Amino acid sequence: MTYRLIVITIVTSLITPTGFCQSHFTDVTEAAGIKHVFKVFEGMFGGGACVLDYNNDGYEDLYITGGMNDDILYKNNGNGTFTNVSEQAGLAITKKYVTQGVAGADVNRDGFVDLFITTITLRNEKKAIPREINIFLLNNGNGTFRDATSEYGLDSLYSFSTGGSFGDFNADGWPDLYVGNYFNEYYGKLSYINDNTLVGANQIAKGYLLLNEKGKRFKNVYADYKLDFRGFGFGGVFTDFDNDGDQDLIVNHDFGYKRTPNMLLENHYPRSNFKDVAKSFGMDVKINSMGAAVGDFNNDGWMDYFITNIHFNWFMVNQGNGKGFVNKSTELGTHFFAISWGANFGDFDQDGDLDLFVANGDLNPYCVAMADFYFVNTGNHFEDKARQAGLNDYGIGRGSVMFDYDNDGDQDLLVVNQEPVLTYPVPSVTHLYRNDSATGNWIKISLKGIQAESHGIGSKIEIEAGGKKMIREIDGGGSSHISQNSVIAHFGLGKISKIDKITVYWTGGNKQSIINVAANQSITISEIPREKWNYNLIYIIVGLIAVAAGVIYWRNVKSKP
Amino acid sequence: MISTVYNRKVIILIMLAGGLFSSCKQADEKIPEDYEVATAWADMTNYIAKTTPSNTPTFSSRCLGYIGYTMYESVVNSSTEYQSVAPELNGLGALPMPEEGIKYKWVLSLNAGQAEILRNIYIQTSDENKSKIDSLEQHFEKLFRDKNPKDSNDNKSIEYGRMIAQRIFEWSKTDGGHRGYLKNFDKALVFKERPGCWRPPLYAQSFSHFPLHPHWGKNRTFIASDSAISDPAFISYDTVPGSAYYNQFKQVYEKEKVLTQKEKETAIWWSDDPDETFTPPGHSYYLATLAIRKTKPDIVKCAETYARVGIAVADAFRNCWKWKYQFFSERPNTFIPEHIDIEWHSFWPDPPFPAFPSGHAIQASAAATVLADLYGERFEITDSAHVGRKRDELRNADFVVRHFNSFWEVAEETANSRFYGGIHTPQDNKIGLEKGKEIANNVNKLNWKRKPINPI
């Protein structure tokens, strides 16, 4: 009976046309040497990963937070396996803290990616009010990191931080940070704690907007940029929602229906401020917002956002041209009951449109097992194919990232799972999935910013191929849940073998194109620097024109009888 | 916005007090009536409850018990008709009597006692709030003190009120709820999961996934007999459509689909979220204030009103929490998505504790029963506690003033509001109302008044 069933299944999958080109993922966690699980501190928070090539060997490595367990830096050996190099890399400092999320960028522009790790408290010291500084690790360029938290002015921010995201909101090429905080900051010393400070501890928090001062320091410019909101923050993501060339910011808030809803902060660059336009754009989502995946799923040239939640996720479709956003989760076929965290838009089956992976997991300690989602884009509609694709893990999912660990051109996945506090029906550990879908052409594009951020964080890539345009933004962290995807843009091309045009929109307004690029290769596009606009000169010229016009007008008026 | 409204209330209170003060200074007139002093302290009590973080309905109810009761004992000896109920309370014992032959100024005792108990029991409140308490105390003290301090008994009056508060506060420390705000959630608690058991809410009012005050039901009751009240009956778990248990939830589910605008307004009015308001027992204390402001009784009856309401809501919550953790029953948000409609969630988010019986219903019933005993079954009330609050945009409903013809109408609407909110079944409310009455009857039965001495 069982045998017959299997035969029928196999035959059906062979004769069904969709079954044939379906992507399949293989769980290679063990074979690749990944042994990780996130352990919570008194609750349900945390678990993220960052994709980075810390040693610039062309193979993308992984940094995964451990919470009450150790964080791990996994070096990609280039042969399908990873080695835990945390000890050699000098990550001992992180063992002191209960870590949460992680993001990376080349903060001092020395060519090596540095790491920002959010924390909530100390691991081995019970604090009356759990708060701690976040950790900034500077990459020494020789396979090791050093703790540069104090040096970069981050040692006085005692917070309950969830996720950090890099972006370049002032477009100066130095990657800045937004950090989401869940509970209010607490500066006090332990000896000053009384009942009043204790009851005040779990109030909503301001985030941090950390401006990178030429690679030397971070400065919290939250108030300077006209931000004063508080919320139960789950971080944010920098993204250009209105296609005006600067980086706006989406902020995720838990309990938006009771406290602060999500924010959509429009960047007024070159002016130094953000304005919350969430309400007028329909993005003041009042849910338990955990993260926002960024991607233009319908290839209309406007970024859409999949916002994860408890119960049902919100698929915010950008109507373009200032017309706001509409939640189309039901129409698009992604309306399924779950508790979702990480989400990643990627063209996993390489057919020319973005699919969507969603990591699901209940809230420790009382957990019901729920499978992750893998939504395949079938053209203005999605179908959950997690089971068929081998992605229906029932562990307690949190952050998830996509990258091409085996450099075979397609997008693989890493899903961070939490350890169950109580008994749980299935194992729950972090998984690495190798994408084994062989169909569809592809291209991978790395950016090398000269004036713009050095890995193109905040820049946008547009390709034109086969009469279709597709766009990608480079994730600086946050296009998931407290995690960061690869900074290498990946496009699936289907049967198209040649890309007509690739255009890079660098942060800061620089734009460049290349034409006729063959598919199935990884390329790097280096920024061609241009003269920076001298704003003083522009102001002087505009001023002179205005004066001249005034004089002419005055003369005309005067000459009339 | 909410805090603005609130601040406005306090500013008005302070202005009113300031106005009284200045006019008194100018022309030695307009000394406030005793009931105005009593209600000013009740307003302050609710203000402190509302603006102290991590407040909960459980802890708040307990505070009202001690604060209201302190008011009573600080003035009861002004009357030959009333007497202390201390010997009847659970382990308190007799309180010190005032000195013989001294004429006390009872309003000063009340004033000092309220300030003292508030400062002690809300030790966790902000310095700003503490100075508000001090200011109100000093304000009334200045107003009522004799102009000629020589031979005055003012100090003795103040000392007496303060001593009563201290004695009651000492007693409170052993009830199990002392500094309960530090133990809102027991993160070491592991509960046994079974079908129909409470599960942490997914559409939640609180970020905590641990249930609130799981050990509150072990606290000492004010009145010993309240602890002995029999357990309620609970409809047994059943997922079969048409079964009694299933129908409880089916009713909640069907109601949510046809909620009228009035019912939505009712649901948000009585939500009394502890993060934003004076909590449900605070609402009952506010109703006591409305009754007092309307009838302007003497100082002892004012105090008796707050004492009875305070003790009633405190014991109601204590018993309610005992049963909540004994039955550990699920909310509609757990049962309905699992057995009726996976898309469903309640109109109002779930609080972080089990369902049966309803805390709103039990305390509202207890308060209504004592208030009806004091002021009569029929009593017109205009409840404007939340008027001026910002419209609830998410639920498309406003905070609209309520009118009632009896205290029981208030209790019933309070209970129904949780059904409209989709967070309680009819049986949660029905049992809550029933048990609230039993608790209140025990409060009413205390010997508040002296028994008439039979002439020989």
Q: What is the pLDDT of residues B388-429, one digit of tens each?
A: 999 999 999 999 999 999 999 999 999 999 999 999 999 999
What is the ipTM metric for this complex?
0.84
Residue B21 above 60 pLDDT?
A: no
A310 touches chain B (CB under 8 A): yes
pLDDT at A217 (0 to 100): 98
Backbone angles phi, psi at A464, to 5 degrees: -120, 120
A439 Cα to chain B: minimum distance (Å): 37
Distance CA A118, CA A208 (A): 12
B3 touches chain A (CB under 8 A): no
Q: Please, what sign has the CA dihedral across residues A183, B2, A266, A318?
A: positive
- Of the candidates A97, A86, A92, A101, the one whose C-alpha atom is nearest the C-alpha of residue A41 is A97
pLDDT at B192 (0 to 100): 84
pLDDT at A559 (0 to 100): 60
Residue with tokens 């989602």: A373
Binary contact (B181, A195; C-beta < 8 A): yes
Q: Report the predicted TM-score, pTM, of the whole model to 2 decimal places.
A: 0.89
- Full pLDDT tens readout for chain A, 561 residues: 333 333 333 333 333 444 444 559 999 999 999 999 999 998 789 999 999 999 999 999 999 999 999 999 999 999 999 999 999 999 999 999 999 999 999 999 999 999 999 999 999 988 888 999 999 999 999 999 999 999 999 999 999 999 999 999 999 999 999 999 999 988 766 566 789 988 888 899 999 999 999 999 999 999 999 999 999 999 999 999 999 999 999 999 999 999 999 999 999 999 999 999 999 999 999 999 999 999 999 999 999 999 999 999 999 999 999 999 999 999 999 999 999 999 999 999 999 999 999 999 999 988 999 999 999 999 989 999 999 999 999 999 999 999 999 999 999 999 999 999 999 999 999 999 999 986 899 999 999 999 999 999 999 999 999 999 999 999 999 999 999 999 999 999 999 999 999 999 999 889 999 999 999 999 999 999 987 656 667 777 777 888 888 777 777 766 654
Measure CA A29 to chain center: 22
- Mean pLDDT, chain B, rounded, equals 93
Looking at the partner chain, which of B190, B200, B345 has a beta carbon nearest the beta carbon of A363? B200
Distance CA A330, CA A271 (A): 39
Stronger pLDDT, B24 or B266, i.e. the higher one:
B266
Binary contact (A255, B125; C-beta < 8 A): no
Distance CA A552, CA A557 (A): 9
Binary contact (A199, B53; C-beta < 8 A): yes
Chain A residues lying within 8 Å of B123, measured CB to CB: 195-196
Residue B6 above 70 pLDDT?
A: no
Binary contact (B187, A42; C-beta < 8 A): yes
Residue A92's contacts (CB-CB under 8 Å, 6 or more residues apart) are none
Report whether B134 contacts B48 (CB < 8 A).
no
pLDDT at A280 (0 to 100): 97
Tens of pLDDT, residue by residue over B77-90, are 999 999 999 999 99
**In chain B, residues 252-291 whose CB comes closer than 8 Å to chain A:** 273, 275
Distance CA A51, CA A483 (A): 8
A322 Cα to chain B: minimum distance (Å): 23
Binary contact (B342, A337; C-beta < 8 A): yes
pLDDT at B421 (0 to 100): 98
Token pair, residue A174, equals 């130095």
A310 Cα to chain B: minimum distance (Å): 6
- Of the candidates B296, B451, B285, B437, the one whose C-alpha atom is nearest the C-alpha of residue B373 is B437
Distance CA A252, CA B407 (A): 44
Q: At what angle do helices B2-27 and B127-144 cross, to 10 degrees?
A: 20
Residue with tokens 């009333």: B82
A257 touches chain B (CB under 8 A): yes
- Of the candidates A348, A373, A368, the one whose C-alpha atom is nearest the C-alpha of residue A358 is A373
Stronger pLDDT, B437 or B191, i.e. the higher one:
B437
In 3-state terms, what secondary structure has residue A19?
A: helix
- Residue type, position B415, single letter: A
Residue B318's alpha-carbon distances to B234, B253, B288, B402, B438, in angstroms, are 18, 29, 20, 28, 13
Chain B residues lying within 8 Å of A232, measured CB to CB: 207
Alpha helices in B31-126 (DSSP H): 34-51, 57-75, 106-121
pLDDT at A532 (0 to 100): 61
A–B CB contacts, 8 A cutoff, strictly below: 66
- Selection from A185-194, B33-42, B141-150 with the highest mean pLDDT: B33-42
What is the DSSP pairing of strand A314-318 with strand A304-308?
antiparallel
Tell me which of A119-133, B32-46, B112-126, B306-320 is least confident: A119-133
Q: At what angle do helices B106-121 and B34-51 cross, to 10 degrees?
A: 10
